[in-house]
Structure 1
Amino acid sequence: MTQIQGYFDPRFETVRELFAQQQRDPQARGAALCVTVGDTTVLDIWAGVMDKDNSRVWEQDTLVNVFSCTKPLGAVALLQQVEAGRITLDQPVADIWPEFAQAGKQQVTLRQLLSHRSGVSAISEPMAPEQLFDWQAMTAAIAAQEPWWEPGSRHGYAPLTYAWLLGEPLRRLSGQMPGDYLRERLFLPLGMDFHVGVPDADLPRIAHLSRLRNQSGDEYARALFAAMGNAAGLQWKAFANPSSLQTSTNKREWQQAQILAANGTGNARSLARFWQALAHDGQLGDVRLLDSELVRLMRREHSAGDDLTLLCPTRFGLGVMLEQDWQGGSFGMGANAFGHPGAGGSLGFADPDAKVGFGYVTNTMGPYVLTDPRAGELSREVYRCLREFC
């Protein structure tokens, strides 16, 4: 019998039952789910194990790498710079990062970076594995990179380079490294147990990540992975250059780096709290993350159509994915939901109409690229309960 820990509102008991059913899968290890509706937490549950030997139970304060669920946190940090008047959305990034003007990028704007329209979705030149953890090496390579397409003309997801495309402007504008800025301006004010660069004292709380065996995902995922077989192509370069991106996720150097696109480490409760604030136009209690107009701009469509990196149709706002027009990219709630999945299964999003904040995390990584079916099933059941009881 799978033991589910935590709290749930009885109106959402079927969500808890579905979560328990997922955890009874023989390959399931650990997971957590937190959902807020309005000002109230209706689910905050967890189960399973956190270590590779399956001997340590998943605790209330267990942390896990949530990969690209990190990206909207960086987007909010940059939009805070816009609100403060330090940069405008349509200002060339080279104004504050002069080296970025190389190779035809002198007119690339912050808006284009945030909406994946810069053309800098990957680094062409092979990078040594250790350079992933060298801030100067990564920013220099990105500054020198020629766009893969004319900036502003198309869009293509930037799975890794987004970390420095946002992180270096943030560092120059704020005078702080991204993880330090986020801790002071987002995590502490909101009471989030979340890190971009985990302190030594918190390393033992991180769950060990493993992959589901003998699963290849849906037809779309298989097609994308096949495209990654071309070592000179955009897909391989975007997801595997440096190659340490594929091999480091349980290593200390990854856990303590400040990779704003991919190595955020936290829990479902913290993701839900972040999205709860955005579901309320950036205000949660006495904490205001962003002006409400900027939140609405953040979730306005800025990119739509064929994604040159992901090889499928995608829709983006500023630093967030919007509800997609196909099942594999759906958040499972309303048409105005916005958020971001993370590689392997994690998901965080807001539904501003239903005033929902949603966070799901797992250390059992699936092969899906956008919304993992486990998270999607849970969010759809939450939505069903909302329609029936709320």
Structure 2
Amino acid sequence: MEANVNGTVAEGFEAVGEAFAANFTRLGERGAAVTVYRDGHRVVHLWAGTRDVDGTEPWQEGTAQIIRSATKGVAAAALLLLHQRGELDLDAPVGEYWPEYKAHGKEHTLVRHLLAHRAGVPVLDHPLTPEQAADPDLGAAAVAAQAPAWEPGTAHGYHAQTYSWLTGELIRRITGRPAGEWIAHEITGPVDAPLWLGLPAQEHDRVGRVGPVEPPRVEGTLRTRPKQSVADAYADPTSLTRRAFAAITPLPDENAPAYRAATLPASNGIATADGLARVYASLTGEVDGGVRLFTPSTMELARKEQSSGPDRVLMVNTRFGLGPMLHGPASPLLTPHSFGHPGRGGALGFADPESGIAFGYVTNGFQPGVTADPRAQSLVRAVRNALSA
């Protein structure tokens, strides 16, 4: 489909606008927005298509969408900010802050293991319903009672759903406040970022409907797969892959008001592209000449590699810092120095301190794939080309 692209592009970044328009004609985009900051100032701010994946109402400048696992980067930033303020020791056992977590061989799990997907609890033997998952007490109790799938700290595997209660409960134990409330007061509020973890009722009307969309078939190409792909593993109900994504069963209705209002730091943040980009801009420098959240040392800590190599859940080689995903073949970002997080099927947010770039992309059409959506990647390549030009 063709779309009327709205917004602004600074001189030198025209290629990003061209790539964004091409996503609608070539890559099956329905409705989306992309925002890019450089050195704390906005240089790309575009939106197009429909507000709802299955509707006709135009996407507006303030339209927001669920960003799925791109929320994880914000949750990790909250814990790193607590560390920066001296309230959290990354090398302390999780049980020091959350005594119930020490059960079933998890007493030596460190906070840094939890952040870097090394905690060994990506699955729940007793999955939660969407209603149970929305109860932070039940979610935390389920993770605390879970025996690890491997010795914590010895390997890594993507904690697709359980990252919600691992990070959320740690924030709550340290601050005494729900994760979404603390993030609103200490991260998104100070940088004026339209991003919510637990959508307020007054913001409900700005959020579009999301849904699955099939990517367009590219004529004349032959897709090959590795011997065991994440899709193969996902098809096996006994695999860590399937069980990790099925820690909440059945799949929640992501358009339901109750789900949007829940606080699930792994999966249900809601943001505009500008909100996602502004958060990352604030982690590497001042936004619009104002607030900076991370000190330079915390920024470096965030992107210091903690996990690398075969991922026991995603079945590919992944790299993680202390929470953020790092640039690599499975999740290409702008440069090897970038850090951020994708959302399964589309969304992407990251920062690249060396170039001064902060990037946010949101969509209402979720395509197959976990970490490298082709629409987001086309925009990242355009930013890279603009910088090199």
Q: Same fold (TM over 0.5)?
A: yes
Contact 1:221 1:367 in 2 (8 A): no
2:128 aligned with 1:124? no
In the superposition, relative to structure 1, how do residues 221 and 285 fare at CA in structure 2: closer, same or farther (>3 Å)? farther
Q: Assess, with a 3 A threshold, how the Cα gap between structure 1 residues 53 and 309 changes in structure 2: closer, same or farther.
A: closer
Structure 1 residue aligned with 2:155: 154
How far the C-alpha of 1:203 sits from its partner, in A, is: 0.9
**1:382–1:52 CA distance, 2 compared to 1 (3 A):** closer
Structure 2 counterpart of 1:374: 375
| Bigger proportion of residues as helix | 1
What whole-Å deviation, never above 9, does each CA across 1:286-315 have from its counterpart, x for those lacking one? 423122211101101011111111111111
Q: How far 1:53 sits from its partner (Å)? A: 4.2
Deviations 1:327-348 (A, max 9, x none): x4211x2211111100111111
| CA distance in structure 1 between the partners assigned to 2:45 and 2:94 by the alignment | 40
Q: Structure 1 284/290 Cα, relative in aligned 2: closer, same or farther at 3 Å?
A: farther
Matches for 1:30-41 after TM superposition, within 5 Å: 30-41=31-42
Match of residue 315 from structure 1: 319
CA–CA distance in structure 2, aligned partners of residues 222 and 107 of structure 1: 32
Name the amino acid aligned to 2:243: K
Please tell me whether the aligned partners of residues 276 and 284 of structure 1 are also in contact (alpha carbons under 8 angstroms): no
Relative distance call for 1:220 and 1:47 in structure 2 (3 A) is farther
- List gaps (5 residues or longer) in structure 1: none
Q: For residue 237 of structure 2, what is the aligned residue in structure 1?
A: 231
Of residues 231, 245, 267, the one that matches 2:272 is 267
Distance 1:52 1:79, change over 3 A: closer
Q: CA deviation at 1:215?
A: 6.8
Structure 2 unaligned segments of length 5 or more: list them.
218-222
- Report if aligned partners of 2:28, 2:215 keep a CA contact under 8 Å in 1: no
Partner-residue secondary structure (3-state), 2:309:
strand
CA distance in 1, matches of 2:29, 2:384: 24
Change (3 A) 1:387 1:208: same
CA contact (8 A) 2:171 2:177 kept: yes
Write the distance in 2 (CA, Å) between the matches of 1:181 and 1:227.
36
Secondary structure of 1:56's aligned partner: coil
1:79-94 aligned within 5 A: 79-94=80-95
- 2:220 maps to none
Q: Tell me the SS of whatever aligns to 2:190.
A: helix
Aligned: 1:258 with 2:270: no
- Counterpart amino acid of residue 296 in structure 2: S
1:27 CA drift (Å):
4.2
In 1, are the aligned partners of 2:27 and 2:215 still within 8 Å (CA)? no
SS of 1:57's partner is coil
Q: Is the 8 A contact 2:70 2:267 kept in 1?
A: yes
Higher deviation after alignment, 228-237 or 362-371: 228-237
Q: How many residues align?
A: 383
Normalising by structure 2, we get a TM-score of: 0.94
Distance 2:133 2:297 in 1: 35
Q: Displacement, 1:276? A: 1.4
- SS of 2:384's equivalent in the other structure is helix
